[in-house]
Amino acid sequence: MSLCINPYCLQQQNSDDELFCLYCGSELLLQGRYRVINQLGGGGFGITYKVSEIRSNNLKVLKVLINTQQKAVELFKQEAEVLAKLNHPGIPKVEPDSYFVYFPRNSHQPIHCLVMEKIVGMDLQKWMENREMRPIHQTLAIQWLKELVTILNRVHSQNFFHRDIKPSNIMLRADGDLALIDFGTVRQVTGTYQAKIAAGQNITGIISTGYTPPEQINQNKESAVYVHNNGAGTIENCDLTGNALSFNIDTTSQVRRSGNKEDNPNS
Task: Given the residues 164, 175, 250, 263, select the one marked as catalytic.
Answer: 164
Specify the 3-state DSSP secondary structure of 48. strand
Question: Burial letters for 118-138: b for 16+ Cβ neighbours within 10 Å, e otherwise?
Answer: bbebebbbebbeeeeeeebee
Residue 187 carries which side chain, given as an amino acid letter? R
Distance between CA atoms of residues 110 and 72, nearest Å: 13
Residue 35 parent element (H or E): strand 34-42
Q: How far apart are the first and last CA of the chain?
A: 39
Q: Is 164 a catalytic residue?
A: yes
Distance between CA atoms of residues 88 and 130, nearest Å: 28
Distance between CA atoms of residues 13 and 137, nearest Å: 45
Please give the positions annotated as active site: 164
